[in-house]
A = this chain, B = another copy of it.
Amino acid sequence: MEFEVTVLGCNSAIPAHGRNQTSQLLKIGNSYLLLDCGEGTQIQLRKFKLRFSKIDFILISHLHGDHYLGLMGLISSFQLHKRTRLLTIFGPVGLDEILTVQLKHSNTKLNFPLRFVVTDPETPKLILEESNFKVFSFPLKHRIPCTGFRVEEKIRFRSLVKEKLQEKKIPVEAINCLRNGKDYTGENGNVVYSLREYTHPPKTPRAYSYCSDTCFDPEIVPYIKHSNLLYHEATFGNDYEDRARETFHSTAAQAGKIAKSASVGRLLIGHYSTRYLDLSSLLQEAKEEFPKTYLSEEGITYSID
């Protein structure tokens, strides 16, 4: 199953140096999830030739403009493209009011159903469960209510040992039973086809965690533990650690520390302050804490495995 994330915007508050405000497009199997939606997200989706009509879920971390101001424009474009499919938006309380007021004043009656799910900034929650993945929200510490998101594959099916399948003609019900993780037994209760002999153990389910805007907060570690890929904001370098503390943001080194504590596979940093034209110092400082760190760059797709 494909599981990957494309960065659409990697700058913090103000779009600058050709870098846009936060947004990421996550693909898992045939599902597309948009994580945050800063101003100009629809322009970025078009620029990178991503078919945004396939987005069925939009997850907004918090209500600072650089994380949601592109949402109303994207909804308008869905409308103009005659969307009919359900769109589900997860976000903080208040986002529903912001959207409703704007739809009212533009006299817009949407062609498609829009479901709004309020996120909980206090307690981690399972917010979405599909056939092949689950999404959790968890609290982040920022100046206003804010959540991170963890997107996780469900436990994968066992794969069958090919040589064994060729050897004997195994009935379909036995194959389904084995793929679902159970021995297949005969009428008398005896094991006819055993899991151990006929299947490979399932691979570990993969996970992506997304921490948009947060101060340095080791309390989030349990929620992002063992993610294959962690996105963690790194607004500042060590030179502005005080400023990071004041504004409830993180430094690149702090993002690296969190990645290390959570034993993630790889770390992706972003949400760069406009003061950094050259990002190499941020990368270097994060790598000193966690060597498998990468800079998020717009238009680049990062695989999650």
Contacts and interface: CB of A to CB of B under 8 A. Distances in A.
A65 B69 contact: no
A107 interface: yes
A97 B103 CA distance: 12
Lowest 8 A-B CB distances belong to which pairs?
Answer: A94-B105, A39-B73, A63-B105, A65-B76, A40-B40, A69-B73, A107-B144, A63-B106
A182 interface: no
A110 interface: no
Interface stretch (A8-16, A124-132, A163-171, A214-222): A8-16
A46 interface: yes
Given A97-B101, A98-B105, 9 more contacts: A13-B76, A14-B77, A66-B73, A94-B104, A94-B105, A98-B101, A98-B102, A105-B144, A107-B144
Interface in A8-38: 13-16, 20-21
Interface in A34-60: 39-40, 42-43, 46
A82 interface: no
Contacts of A105: 63, 92, 94-95, 97-98, 144
A163 to B, nearest CB: 53
Nearest to A73: B39
Contacts of A21: 73
Contacts of A104: 94
Contacts of A40: 39-40, 43
17 contacts: A13-B76, A14-B42, A14-B80, A15-B46, A39-B40, A39-B69, A39-B73, A65-B72, A65-B106, A69-B72, A69-B76, A92-B105, A97-B101, A98-B102, A98-B105, A101-B101, A105-B144
A143 interface: yes
Interface of A: 13-16, 20-21, 39-40, 42-43, 46, 63-66, 69-70, 72-73, 76-77, 80, 92, 94-95, 97-98, 101-102, 104-107, 143-144
Contact of A42 (B39, B42, B92, B94): B39
Contacts of A101: 94, 97-98, 101
A10 to B, nearest CB: 14
B144 A106 contact: yes
Nearest to A75: B65
Contacts of A13: 76-77, 80
Contacts of A14: 42, 76-77, 80
Nearest to A81: B14
Nearest to A144: B107
Contact of A16 (B15, B46, B64): B46
Contacts of A76: 13-14, 65-66, 69
Given A14-B77, A39-B42, A76-B13, A64 B98 contact: no
